[in-house]
């Protein structure tokens, strides 16, 4: 064979190899696209996930039986999908006595990898657009069982605690705007009602999202919908929503006239919802479709023979949630907190006050008790440097030492976070007044107690 012929052969082989790899690569596409993953519970107790398993349903083939997704797990639940639709996170235990851990399944390749490997139960993952996964991790504070939100990368590295309040923090979800919505119930020093909270993905700027309304409180996490609502389950199995643009005052129970009971809700791209629903005359929770625009009885998709909860549509989220930047710096152990006016509040003055109704100082307390009392400036402002990742609560005091308002909810700040409030339990729909607080004309009052290496700016 002459030289040119040899070269032609080489070229031919290269082309065939290229074509083959293209075909092979395209073969391993996500075969779950468009399917629904749902959790099948084994018992009647919706809270018990022992023995639960993830099933895959095909909405195009309603009559076709569901397929078990995972074979090696004793229990698996709480599916959550990454925004590009490829990675399915879930909580799982391979053996009965194991603690729940976070796992991830690559839907394209089919392999399953362990994400967390911690001694405590780790549950309810939700995927952040930067590749991190947020989950709840059990713990103890002052003898009370708590759960806090943590995050880590898919390979388990870079583990970071996000919430630090003595509460049960669950059901995190990532909104399209980039913040994390989650359910929080304080457990220390007293148990309070569950409310939905929202924070930035680095754990900073945690604030109340909605506390429910009219005797109804949220009991699940909330999920984004293209119609601008956040859908969740509220007490007594109601399906509820708030308008994200104004969550504090748009609480709406959608299911009040429908009868039956809802266990979970997942909005879909067409602004309808996949719901886990128990009809009035039903035996178990099945998978249904609900149109919030019509508010009619949900339409059955997969009634199921066992309880089906937490449906998840396998689909790419487009556009994906925002990746919010973070000024948090773990090398810094402190944070800054400023209040414009400690007397600016929507709460009434505490009963029994005999002295001034205006406070002139603020008492800061930690889990271990009173830390300090800081005097406010003449305009009511205070400016403090606190330990990061430490829960505090505040009370405003008058000259006579009486508690005018408080105690507040637990507040914590992330390392190097700078946070400001308009007041103490002020109306959260009020933007701040525009003035330079007198307190920031001086250095902050230093209440930080930890002594660690500080990064030099």
Partner 1 sequence: MIRMKGIIISGAIILAIGAVLIFGGRWARGHVNYMTAAEDHPRTCWSCHIYTQRDNFIAKLMNETYVSPYKLDISQDGSTLFIVGQESNELVVVNTETAKVVEKIPVGLKPHTVTLSPDGKSAYVSNQWADNIFRINLENSKVEDTLVGGAGPAGMAISADGKNLWCVNSYSNNISIFDLGNMQERRRLKAGNNPVSIAMTPDGREVYVSSRRSVDVPHMTHPLTEITVASTKSQRISDRKMFQDAYIMETVDVTPSGDLVIATLIRPKNLLPTVQIERGWMMTQGLGIIERESGRMVQLLLDEPNAFYADPFGLVITPDGKRAFVSHGAVDKVTAIDLDALRKVLAEAPDEELEDYANDLGLSSRFVIGRIPTGSNPKGMVLSPDGKLLYVAERLNDQIAVINTESLETIKTIGLEGPKRRTVARHGRQVLNNAKGTFQGQYACYTCHPDVHEDGLVYNMAASDMGRNLANVQSLRDIGDIPPYKWNGKNQTIYKQDGMRFSTILTRNEAFTYKDLDALVAYIITDNPNPPNLRFNPDGELTAKQQRGKEIFYRTHDTYGNEIPVENRCYTCHPPPYFTNKEMTDVGTLADSDDPMKFDVPQLNNIYESGPYLHDGKAPTLEEIWTEFNDHDEHGVANDMMKDQLNDLVEYLKSLRDAKYYMDEAQAYEASLSKKNK
* Chain residues that interact with partner 1, rule: CB under 8 A: 177-178, 205, 207, 244-250, 322-327, 336, 338, 340, 383, 416, 418-420, 427-437, 440-441, 444, 457
Residue 241: CB minimum distance to partner 1, A: 14
Query: Given the DSSP bridges, would you call strands 238-243 and 252-253 parallel, antiparallel or unpaired?
Result: antiparallel
Residue 325: CB minimum distance to partner 1, A: 4
Residue 429: CB minimum distance to partner 1, A: 4
User: Omega into 319 within 30° of 0, i.e. cis?
Assistant: yes
Residue 442: CB minimum distance to partner 1, A: 8
Which is nearer to partner 1, 297 or 326 (by Cβ)? 326
Which is nearer to partner 1, 373 or 441 (by Cβ)? 441
Burial environment of residue 268 by CB neighbours within 10 A (0 to 12, 13 to 18, 19 or more): middle
Which is nearer to partner 1, 166 or 212 (by Cβ)? 212
Residue 214: CB minimum distance to partner 1, A: 17
How far is it, in rounded angstroms, from Cα 401 to Cα 436?
A: 27
Which H/E stretch holds residue 380?
A: none
Which is nearer to partner 1, 76 or 345 (by Cβ)? 345
Which is nearer to partner 1, 205 or 289 (by Cβ)? 205
Residues 6+ apart with CB under 8 A from 155: 113, 115
Residue 433: CB minimum distance to partner 1, A: 6
DSSP class of residue 218 equals: B
Here the tokens at position 209 are 């999202």
Residue among 29, 7, 141 nearest 84 (CA): 29
CA angle 2, 4, 7 (to 5 degrees): 115
DSSP class of residue 367 equals: T
Residue among 247, 155, 264 nearest 210 (CA): 247
Which is nearer to partner 1, 76 or 381 (by Cβ)? 381
Which is nearer to partner 1, 131 or 432 (by Cβ)? 432
Query: Given the DSSP bridges, would you call strands 167-174 and 160-161 parallel, antiparallel or unpaired?
Result: unpaired
Residue 176: CB minimum distance to partner 1, A: 11
450 has which bridge partners?
A: none
74 has which bridge partners?
A: none
How far is it, in rounded angstroms, from Cα 154 to Cα 133?
A: 7
Residue 397: CB minimum distance to partner 1, A: 23
91 has which bridge partners?
A: 77, 102
Which is nearer to partner 1, 122 or 336 (by Cβ)? 336
Query: Given the DSSP bridges, would you call strands 101-106 and 112-114 parallel, antiparallel or unpaired?
Result: antiparallel
């Amino acid at each position: 064979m002459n030289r040119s012929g040899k070269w032609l052969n080489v070229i031919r082989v290269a082309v065939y190899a290229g074509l083959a790899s293209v075909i092979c690569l395209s073969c391993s596409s996500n075969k779950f696209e468009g399917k629904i993953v749902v959790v099948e519970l084994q018992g009647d107790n919706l809270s018990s996930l022992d023995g639960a398993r993830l099933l895959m349903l095909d909405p195009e083939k309603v009559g076709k039986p569901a397929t078990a997704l995972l074979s090696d797990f004793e229990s698996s639940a709480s599916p959550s999908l990454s925004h590009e639709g490829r990675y399915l996170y879930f909580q799982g235990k391979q053996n009965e006595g194991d603690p729940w851990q976070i796992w991830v399944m690559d839907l394209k390749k089919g392999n399953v990898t362990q994400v967390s490997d911690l001694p405590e139960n780790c549950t309810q993952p939700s995927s952040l657009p930067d590749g991190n996964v947020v989950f709840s991790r059990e713990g103890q504070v002052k003898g009370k069982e708590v759960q806090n939100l943590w995050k880590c990368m898919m390979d388990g590295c870079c583990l970071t605690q996000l919430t630090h309040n003595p509460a049960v923090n669950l059901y995190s979800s990532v909104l399209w705007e980039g913040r994390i919505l989650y359910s929080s119930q304080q457990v220390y020093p007293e148990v309070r009602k569950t409310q939905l909270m929202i924070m930035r993905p680095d754990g900073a700027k945690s604030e109340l999202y909605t506390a429910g309304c009219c005797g109804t409180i949220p009991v699940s996490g909330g999920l984004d919908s293209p119609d601008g609502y956040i859908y969740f389950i509220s007490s007594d199995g109601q399906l509820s929503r708030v308008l994200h643009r104004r969550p504090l005052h748009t609480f709406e129970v959608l299911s009040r006239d429908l009868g039956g009971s809802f266990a979970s809700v997942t909005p879909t791209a067409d602004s309808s919802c996949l719901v886990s629903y128990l009809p009035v005359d039903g035996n178990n929770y099945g998978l249904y479709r609900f149109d919030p625009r019509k508010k009619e009885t949900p339409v059955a998709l997969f009634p199921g023979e066992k309880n089906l909860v937490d449906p998840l549509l396998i689909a790419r989220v487009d556009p994906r949630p925002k990746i919010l930047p973070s000024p948090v710096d773990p090398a810094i152990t402190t944070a800054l907190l400023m209040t414009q006016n400690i007397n600016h509040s929507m709460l009434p003055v505490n009963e029994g006050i005999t002295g001034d109704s205006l406070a002139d100082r603020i008492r800061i307390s930690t889990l271990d008790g009173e830390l300090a009392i800081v005097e406010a400036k003449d305009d009511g402002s205070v400016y403090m440097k606190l330990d990061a990742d430490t829960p505090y609560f505040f009370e405003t005091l008058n000259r006579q030492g009486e508690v005018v308002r408080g105690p507040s909810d637990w507040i914590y700040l992330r390392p190097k976070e700078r946070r400001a409030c308009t007041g103490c339990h002020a109306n959260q729909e009020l933007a701040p007044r525009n003035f330079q607080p007198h307190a920031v004309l001086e250095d902050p009052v230093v209440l930080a107690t930890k002594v660690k290496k500080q990064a030099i700016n």
